[in-house]
Structure 1
Amino acid sequence: MDIEFQLTSTPITSTAGLAFIGDHLKETKLSRHLSSVCPHVRKSGRIADIDVAKSMIGLLCLGKPDFDAIGEYRDEPFFTRSLGLSRLPSPETLRQRITCWPEKTRHVWRDFNIRQLRRNKKFLTEKIHGRRYAAVDVDVSPMDNSDTKKEGVSWTYKKFDGYAPIFAYIGPGFMLNNELRPGSAHSNHEGTGQWIAQTLQMARNITDAPMLFTADSGNDSTDNVEILREQPNTDFILKRNLRKQDPAEWLALAKEQTGEENYEEVDIGARAWYGEEDVVLPGQDDVPEDSKVKQRVVFRATERFARPNGQYLFGDEINIDAYWTSLDWTPQQVQAFYQRRGTSEQYHSELKSDMDLERLPSGKMATNQQVLDLAMIAYNLLRMLGRQMLETGLVPGRKARSRRLRLRTVMQNLMYMAGRLVRHARRCTLHIFKGHGWALPALALARSPD
């Protein structure tokens, strides 16, 4: 080998970006709030709960959700220093303490998350058809935990054993809320309506902008529509589950409203017609006709007579995309906006793949919920750092107008940036190589008054 290897006592770190995470976590209100819900007998040498929480968040920001991973940093001074830890917990202590946290700690994580998002609320809104909205997207994304005997793991609709958590995102990919559920739980699991109302209240605690709530057909129910109708300053798009309704009737209605010749070419073998209708909410059979509650429904009826490759079908296929909505947008605008929510699948991927959180670390469901809540904080901190780096205008190959960086990009280039820790005159300085592509934006971010 041409390069000679030697050991050195000079503190060198490969995780210089943790300094930015520690800066966000030094909030005293977080520490006080956590102490108030985790009462304990004071013992000398006992590691503080806030140190346990920061340690786990640090690991999650590095894509290491396993408790045992904390052992890798036992002899590395920078991990402890960057996160502001008094002491670094052992893997056993990390696991046991998180398992012992009461359910009330979920309020601690959510309150902190709200405060962090509120400080960066300028990133959460966008102008859509002439009005500025904070878009809130809700979706279920199963997590594969096959070949385990963890509590709550069961058969999911994705045809594997795992969990079926529900997530809410606000703006371009910031996580607003989550709930870990058994794999067999339906999207519209008991309590979903209350969870949606709680999520929208959390969003209103962050920003005064109008909300635009979007969810797929798994959450289609009269109760949810009524909850959304009652929400102040909130519009919604909720995809309908047409169940046993005849698609041909919807297609005929669309052609009648727009004219058979006024269609949209979807591809070489399909055409689409748009329509709208005020529909009576289900479950009002005993209500007088003139008192029944109606809600606007917009829809796209697609008639396919050939496959995209040009091969003709024996019989035409009809597909209906229908949405409950409170908006006055055209059906085309509603359809286009709903299709954009496919981006949420990328958010799930970043959580499960980039942060390696597909398989949760504990066998107990309550502990895994705590880890998922801490992961929400880590996820948003990484997302914010990515957005703030873009704001510097110095990120190689990126422009400030880009709305987000993938978490993997932030982790590889910022979290795992190498540095040398120098102590001199009671001060600590982190030296990073000026030739690193992200060195200048990192320095600009470190010197930012925010």
Structure 2
Amino acid sequence: MPKIQFELTSTPITSHAGLAFIGQALDDPVLANDINGLCSLPRNKNYISTLDTIKAMIGLLSVGKPQFDAIAEYRADPVFATALGIKKTPSPETLRQRLEQCPESLDKVFRAFNTRLLAAHPHLLTEDLHGQTWAVIHCDVSPMDNSNSHKEGVDWTYKQFEGYAPMLGYIGPYGLMINNELRNGSAHSNTPGTDAWFKQTMDMAERMTSHKRLVVTDSGNDSGVNVRLFMRQKDTDFVVKCNLRNQDPQEWLDLAVKQNGGADGEYVDIGARAWYGQKQVQIPGHSDTPDDPKTCRIVFRVTKRFARTDGQYMFPAMITVDAYWTSLDWTPEQIHEFYKQRGTSEQYHSELKTDMDVERLPSGKFRVNQHVLDMSMIAFNLLRLAGQGMLKTGLVPGRKARSKRLRLRTVIQNLMYMAGRLVQHARKTIIRIFEGHGWAEPVMALNRLPDG
């Protein structure tokens, strides 16, 4: 083959044409007014607004580059600024310093924008379960590894590394992030203030959709305070995995067998049987409000394994209990099967920390890293919405066209990093992409889709 030579050109060519979709979504006058009103700075000829700084950071997060130094790659790139709608791209130093100057109250601006963003796509927030439409909200802690750093708030986590332990919440069947909270690495899942975070999350969900909410948490959030909070919340149901602590599993087995009339139980495999049951239990802890509920329903599944799957008997038999606080009237079997699907939320954590590379947060200051996590939430949702929009076109190539959702890695690789050529002519700004690219058709169709 002939030797290929490289030459420089003054024609603006970009390897991240998809950032234009991010810029369009961030072109929100309410967001601009909120940020400019909260983070105003003296103007001069070298002034870079806080709004432009935040847009630049969200742009970096959208291409999987959360570190401040990464902005240096785009300072001389006119497409980056044009696509995101910013006047001047900040330097790494300016990016860091400007975010450090932002007040803590900026988190309210980010959450307000995120609420408006998700409320504009109500069809992605709900799913039909047992004859009713629900907005399911999965909440969980997912530690972030920040080992060998001296960042504020980094501590030993339950995953046996140094880092943070943020609380993350996702709404709907496609995994849109509704809320987050950065926490010290040593913080427990139910650390003080968790009930206030749940209340904030449910209030945000109420502004997003008129359908009933269904909050799902693991045993780390098993507390009387949370159960009472969920029971008081209007149009909200819940499933909270029970922390059985030191309770005797044999007692649960005896109760389950009794409620099933002494039957042999459901066949699990050659060496195990399972029984389902339910009971009304007094909610633990003390409440100062006389009208607070005193009891709540617990449903459970008890599994007795008396032999391994190869038929070898076990002495003694192993008894495991899965129990759930719930306000639903579903059967114990239905609730257990529903909770098993919770594992999908672990994939959402992976997409945030691996696909977007948001794990080693860039700042040494805790407050700044909370802002970065908030901007990551916005970038996460914009990428998710773009992926679902392309699937909606029916033009996504290959086996991914049959997917329920596109992984963020797929969106970043095929949309964010799509090559294009910037053309400015007759007061129009156009990004041209190669018509032979396999993802060109869904991208063009996505550009034609109406908002929402």
Aligned partner of 2:277 in structure 1 is: 275
CA distance in 2, matches of 1:177, 1:405: 21
**Deviation per residue, 1:59-107 (Å, 9 max, x gap):** 0000000000000011211100000001100000000011110011001
Paired amino acid for 1:233? D
Alignment of 1:277-316 (within 5 A): 277-283=279-285, 293-316=294-317
2:261 to 254, 259, 284: 259
The yes-or-no answer on 1:54 pairing with 2:55 is: yes
Partner of 2:105: 104
Report how far residue 263 of structure 1 moved: 1.9
Match of 1:449 in 2: 450
User: What does residue 385 of structure 1 align with?
Assistant: 386
Corresponding residue for residue 183 of structure 1: 185
2:125 is matched with 124
Provide the C-alpha distance between the structure 1 equivalents of 2:368 and 2:118, rounded to a whole number of angstroms: 24
What SS does structure 1 have at the residue aligned with 2:398?
A: coil
Aligned-pair distance for 1:340?
0.5
Letter in 2 for 1:335: H
Question: Unaligned 5+ residue runs, structure 1?
Answer: none
Using a 3 Å threshold, how does the CA distance of structure 1 residues 292 and 167 change in structure 2: closer, same or farther? closer
Q: Label 1:67 to 1:137 Cα distance change in 2 as closer, same or farther (>3 A).
A: same
Cα pair distance change 1:334/1:72, threshold 3 Å: same
- Give the TM-score of the pair, scaled to structure 2: 0.96
1:247 paired residue number: 249
What SS does structure 2 have at the residue aligned with 1:341?
helix
Cα displacement (A) at 1:308: 3.3
Task: Please show how residues 389-404 of structure 1 align to structure 2 within 5 Å.
Answer: 389-397=390-398, 402-404=403-405
Deviation at 1:422, TM superposition (A): 2.0
State how far apart, in whole Å, the 2-side matches of 1:3 and 1:334 are: 62
| 1:209 alignment counterpart | 211
Change (3 A) 1:286 1:5: closer
Deviations 1:223-243 (A, max 9, x none): 110000000000100011111
Q: What SS does structure 2 have at the residue aligned with 1:32?
A: helix
1:396-435 matches, cutoff 5 A: 396-397=397-398, 402-435=403-436
Q: Counterpart of 1:389 in structure 2: which amino acid?
A: M
Task: Please give the alpha-carbon distance, in whole angstroms, between the structure 2 residues aligned to 1:311 and 1:431.
Answer: 65
TM-aligned CA distance change 1:268 to 1:145, over 3 Å:
farther
Given the alignment, which residue of 236, 239, 259 partners 2:238?
Answer: 236
| 8 A Cα contact 1:60 1:378, kept in partner | yes
Aligned residue in 1 for 2:220? 218
> Which whole-Å deviations, capped at 9, do the CAs of 1:26-45 have from their partners, x for residues lacking one?
11110001112113333342
1:3, distance to aligned residue in structure 2 (A): 2.6
CA distance in 1, matches of 2:186, 2:308: 35
* Letter of the structure 2 residue corresponding to residue 329 of structure 1: W
Of residues 356-365 and 267-276 in structure 1, the stretch that sits farther from structure 2 once superposed is 267-276
Residues 113-169 of structure 1 deviation map (CA, whole Å, 9 limit, x = unaligned): 000001111111000000000001100000011111111111111111110000111
SS in 2 for 1:298: strand
| Distance apart, 1:284 and its partner CA | 5.8
Matches of 1:283 and 1:59, distance apart in 2:
46
| CA shift in 2, pair 1:400/1:329, >3 Å | farther
What's the CA shift for 1:314?
A: 2.4
Tell me how far apart the structure 2 counterparts of residues 254 and 37 of structure 1 sit (CA, whole Å). 58
C-alpha distance in structure 2 between counterparts of 1:258 and 1:109, whole Å: 51
Q: CA separation of 1:412/1:310 partners in 2, compared to 1, >3 Å: closer, same or farther? A: farther
Q: Relative to structure 2, which stretch is displaced further, 17-26 or 308-317?
A: 308-317
- Alignment match, 1:83: 84
Q: Does 1:353 align with 2:383?
A: no
Instruction: Report the 3-state secondary structure (helix = DSSP H, G, I; strand = E; otherwise coil) of the residue aligned with 2:44.
Output: coil
**Is structure 2 residue 42 aligned with structure 1 residue 27?**
no
**CA drift at 1:399:** 7.3
Q: How far apart in 1 are the matches of 2:268 and 2:383?
A: 38
Whichever residue aligns with residue 165 of structure 1, its letter is P
Distance in structure 1 (CA, Å) of the matches to 2:365 and 2:287? 44
Q: TM-score, normalised by structure 1?
A: 0.96
In the TM superposition, what are the counterparts of 1:141-220 in structure 2 within 5 Å?
141-171=142-172, 172-220=174-222
- Residues 197, 2 of structure 1: alpha-carbon distance in 2 compared, 3 angstrom cutoff: same
Range that drifts further, 422-431 or 410-419: 422-431
Query: How far apart are residue 427 of structure 1 and its match?
Result: 2.1
1:433 Cα offset (Å): 1.2
Question: d(CA) in 2 for partners of 1:7 and 1:309?
Answer: 66
Given that 2:400 and 2:406 are in contact with CA atoms closer than 8 Å, whether structure 1 keeps it comes out as no
Query: How far off is 1:201 after superposition?
Result: 0.4
Give the counterpart letter for 1:196 in structure 2.
Answer: F
Root mean square deviation, CA, Å? 1.9
Aligned residues: 448
Q: Which 5+ residue runs of structure 2 have no aligned equivalent?
A: none
- SS of 1:342 mapped into structure 2: helix
SS in 2 for 1:363: coil
For the residues of structure 1 that align with 2:124 and 2:447, how far apart are their CA atoms?
19
Report the AA paired with residue 39 of structure 2: C
TM-superposed CA distance for 1:272, in Å, is 1.0
Alpha-carbon separation, structure 2, partners of 1:286 and 1:110: 31
**Contact map agreement 2:157 2:163 (CA 8 A) in 1:** yes
Q: AA paired with 2:144?
A: M
Q: Which residue identity does 1:214 align to in structure 2? A: V
CA contact (8 A) 1:393 1:399 kept: no
Q: Which amino acid aligns with 1:246?
A: D
Instruction: Report if the CA contact (8 A) 2:264-2:273 is conserved.
Output: no
Against the structure 1 CA distance between its residues 85 and 162, is the aligned structure 2 distance closer, same or farther, given a 3 Å change threshold? same
Shift of 1:287: 12
| Deviation, structure 1 residue 262 | 4.8
